Chain A
Amino acid sequence: MRRLYLETSPEETKAIDKALLTNNELQRQYNELIAVKKELDSAQLQPSDAAIKNILHYAQGLQEHS
């Protein structure tokens, strides 16, 4: 999990990648998790333009008064 989310140290990364290269089952499981993560990333929603404009308008107003 930590390798999937890039939380491993360089040493841990190296060790895990070595294990992935030599263990087909581990590699298969890891690739399945990558695929799910990729889908999760692509399933993001976009807020409406109106909501974004409201935020920018507020930030701009505050900027002018500061």
Chain B
Amino acid sequence: MIDNQCSDSQLVLLYQTGSEEAFEMLLHRHKSRIYTAIYLIVKDRYVAEDLLQDTFIKAVNVIKSGRYNEEGKFLPWLSRIAHNLAIDHFRSNKRHPEITLEDGSRVFDSLQFAEDSFETIQLKQDTKAKLRALIKELPEEQKEVLIMRNYLQMSFQEIADRTGVSINTALGRMRYALINLRKKMISVNYNNAYDKKFYPTRPDEAPLPRNLSGGDQGN
């Protein structure tokens, strides 16, 4: 039984020496973030699942062939694989666009213009889907940074390097992404966001930041 507190690099080492459980733990630890990030780029659940599989299969091949050399930086490495695959697909799909719904189902010639489309009904029912839809509405540059930082967990410096901008630009885009997203959440009455402890009516009701532990990013 592997300790749940095991770091990613320890799990990679264990997997290299034959522990399937270690790989399973790595997969379950990162699958949701990676999958969500891919989905937000390609906008299709089926394609996102295919690319998630491709991402981990690529990682497995590299690790098992002894070519893994990321010195303890497993997640950024995995994120780069996922991001590259998603962007490659996004670019190729731009030439042959398909319209898909939140659940991944495709709409070709059966576009409906009724007031309550399937997606509209689903959006009403699923606030998380609503939030993902709002993310998709963000300007491309802001959305890109938000996905890379929040879901792929790349550092701002790495995002700056990968997108060819300064770190201050990356930070600014992230700030605007969160501010714009909040405005959108307000405009659509995104109820979950109105938690009183985060939206105090008076300044003295605001919670202070807790768990102020150093600059450790954790894993």
Contacts and interface: CB of A to CB of B under 8 A. Distances in A.
Contact of B208 (A2, A9, A20, A32): A20
A7 B156 contact: yes
Interface residues of A, number: 48
Interface string A1-30: 110011111101110010011001101101
Interface string B163-192: 000000001001100110110010000101
B212 A13 contact: yes
Given A24-B203, A36-B193, A62 B60 contact: yes
B35 A45 contact: yes
Interface stretch (B50-58, B84-92, B110-118): B50-58
Contacts of A56: 20, 23-24, 27
B131 A43 contact: yes
Contact of B150 (A2, A6, A37): A37
B82 to A, nearest CB: 12
Nearest to B52: A47
B214 A10 contact: yes
B206 interface: yes
Nearest to A9: B215
Given A38-B198, A63-B20, A32 B182 contact: yes
Contacts of A39: 131, 185, 190, 192-193
A12 B215 contact: yes
A44 B53 contact: no
B178 A37 contact: yes
B36 A43 contact: yes
Contact of A35 (B18, B128, B150, B198): B198
Describe B's contact surface by its main secondary structure.
helix
Interface string B110-145: 000000000000000000100110010000000000
Nearest to B203: A24
Interface string A22-66: 001101101111111111111111111001101110111011001
B192 A44 contact: no
Contacts of B132: 43, 45
A34 B211 CA distance: 13
A63 B206 CA distance: 52
Nearest to B16: A66
B209 A55 contact: no
Contact of B218 (A6, A14, A20, A24): A6
14 contacts: A13-B212, A28-B200, A28-B206, A32-B199, A33-B182, A38-B198, A43-B36, A44-B36, A45-B36, A45-B48, A47-B49, A52-B27, A59-B23, A62-B64
